[in-house]
Amino acid sequence: MRSGGPPGRYTDRLGRAGFSLGRAGFNLDRAGFSLDWQGISANIKVGSQNCAENNMTSPVQYIKQTHDLYDSLGYPPYQWFKADSPAAWTELSRPLNQSRLGMLSTAGTYIAGQVAYYYKDDTSVRKIPADTELNKLRFSHVTENYLVDARKDPRTVFPLQALHRLQQEGLIGSLADNYYSCMGGIYSQRRVQEDLIPNLRTAMAAEGIDVLLLVPL
């Protein structure tokens, strides 16, 4: 649902159906809701956090889209990972501005000269020094259509420069010497658990990071 515009049913430009309540009303989506009355937004908790909500583009339902696509192509439905227990929680031992931050990109990032990824459940890992020049970054991922812009501006999926700026500004204490990447388009959850995660653990062991930022494609 959305507020604003004439009340009644609508179809947005991505073909998604919705319902508008007119000038005042709710934005309702699976992440929570916001109340917008004459431009005043309420802060609504999403999950357990207070986060500002406003009249945004509705989040795309990728699981449903994929299901419908596979169905139309005659593929069996994909069994997405659904957590059956709450996540573990590790408190930070020091604030971010005193922490060493590591970063993992699952966009299939590699440096020119490194072997690229393959697309059938590749569980290998690449080390990307934090001072790598942007023009040396490359990408290979099974969903290549999502790499069109990354291949022109790698920063859009690999935030090397932004992280450097934030460390210079003092928001982040320090950065790992090396970032890491893998090809996140792995369909076998078992291979992620049994191969990729041990590979990552080994690769990152010497970085001495306090916190890990993960950036999927």
Partner 1 sequence: MCHQTVSLIARTFEQEGTPTLILGSALDILRSGAAPRVQFLNYPLGFTAGKPFDPENQRQVLATAVQGFDQMQEAGICRMDFDWPEGWAMIEEREQNTSGTDLRSPRDTTPRYQTEEDRLLAESMQG
Write out the binding residues for partner 1, residues 52-71 only, by CB under 8 A. 52-54, 56-57, 59-64, 69
Is residue 104 a contact partner of residue 180, using CB atoms and an 8 Å limit? yes
Interacting residues with partner 1 between 24 and 43 (CB under 8 A): 30-32
By the rule CB under 8 A, 128 interacts with partner 1: no
CB of 183 closer than 8 Å to CB of 142 = yes
- The span from the CA of 65 to the CA of 215, in Å, is 22
Of how many residues is the chain composed?
Answer: 217
Q: Is 175 in the site for partner 1 (CB under 8 A)?
A: no
Nearer to partner 1, 127 or 151 (CB): 151
**Cβ pair 122, 113 in contact under 8 A:** no
**Residue 21 touching partner 1 (CB under 8 A):** no
Told to check if 186 binds partner 1 by CB under 8 A, we report yes
Say how far apart CA 61 and CA 104 lie, in whole Å. 25
**Dihedral sign (CA 17, 23, 28, 31):** positive
Q: Smallest distance, Å, CB 210 to partner 1?
A: 7
* In the complex, minimum distance from the CB of residue 169 to partner 1, in angstroms, rounded to a whole number: 8
- Which residue stretch of 3-11, 17-25, 149-157 sits at the interface with partner 1 (rule: CB under 8 A)? 149-157
